[in-house]
Chains A and B, each alone.
Chain A
Amino acid sequence: GAVVSQHPSWVICKSGTSVKIECRSLDFQATTMFWYRQFPKQSLMLMATSNEGSKATYEQGVEKDKFLINHASLTLSTLTVTSAHPEDSSFYICSTVSPWGGDTQYFGPGTRLTVL
């Protein structure tokens, strides 16, 4: 399957600061990447779809000005949590669609964000 990396794997920040999370597709070019969020003991929730060369598409209820997505290249998408607050503490996971396995999504290892 496709290999997807995320950086950092975990981050702790102070309330009010911004945090950037990177998602990289390591073995193919991904025109589309997805960002999910997972709160403790809950399932994954899709936040937005990141499209290379165009604006991201956000799911209902997700603030696009708070969660900035930049699909800078065909192998890199970034999610910036701006003015983070404790309620933004969560597990953030990205995924890409493999060009080899139909439209199967492959996921990164996730980034644990803790806002103090």
Chain B
Amino acid sequence: DAKTTQPPSMDCAEGRAANLPCNHSTISGNEYVYWYRQIHSQGPQYIIHGLKNNETNEMASLIITEDRKSSTLILPHATLRDTAVYYCIVRAQGAQKLVFGQGTRLTINP
């Protein structure tokens, strides 16, 4: 699986949009970008995934650059409950393994 690079930590004010970047410059054509988050002492929670088009669901938006070498997860109106470690993972279609990096520790401040 391609590796990803994320900033180790970020801060965001409550109510503002949180934009979490991820670099995946070695991504292959059949690899999807997945985002999970892990709130302290809980299992990871699936957020969103995409291949090349931008995606949006009730939790977040995923913006993937045209060359697919990077992406941004957007939490439109961050709340205190969004404080968590966010993991960006690339995985080929049909591949079963998820390889977790160190993620970004996002802290939402009141």
Identify the A interface with B (CB < 8 A): 1, 4, 6, 32, 34, 36, 43-46, 49, 91, 93, 95, 97, 101-110, 112
Q: Which of B38, B45, B98 contacts A46 (CB 8 A)?
A: B98
A44 touches B94 (CB 8 A): no
Min CB gap A39→B, angstroms:
12
A112 touches B41 (CB 8 A): yes
Q: In the complex, how many residues of chain B place their beta carbon closer than 8 angstroms to a beta carbon of chain A?
A: 22
Q: Which of A45, A49, A102, A108 contacts B43 (CB 8 A)?
A: A108
By beta carbon, the residue of chain B nearest A36 is: B100
A44 touches B41 (CB 8 A): no
Q: Which of A45, A103, A109 contacts B96 (CB 8 A)?
A: A103
Q: 10 extra interchain contacts, Cβ-Cβ under 8 A, other than A103-B95, A104-B49, A110-B41?
A: A34-B98, A43-B100, A46-B99, A49-B96, A93-B44, A101-B46, A104-B34, A107-B36, A109-B43, A110-B42
Min CB gap A36→B, angstroms:
8
Identify the B interface with A (CB < 8 A): 34, 36, 38, 41-46, 49, 87, 93-103
What is the predominant secondary structure among interface residues of chain B facing chain A? loop
What is the predominant secondary structure among interface residues of chain A facing chain B? strand
B44 touches A44 (CB 8 A): yes
Residues of chain B with a CB closer than 8 A to A44's CB = 38, 44, 100
A103 touches B94 (CB 8 A): yes
By beta carbon, the residue of chain A nearest B99 is: A46
Task: State A1–B101 Cα separation when bound (angstroms).
Answer: 23
Residues of chain A with a CB closer than 8 A to B42's CB = 109-110
Q: Which of A46, A101, A107, A112 contacts B44 (CB 8 A)?
A: A107
Min CB gap A74→B, angstroms:
17
B49 touches A107 (CB 8 A): no
A104 touches B103 (CB 8 A): no
15 contacts between A and B (CB under 8 A): A4-B43, A32-B96, A34-B98, A36-B100, A45-B100, A46-B97, A46-B99, A49-B96, A91-B41, A93-B43, A95-B44, A101-B46, A105-B98, A107-B46, A108-B43
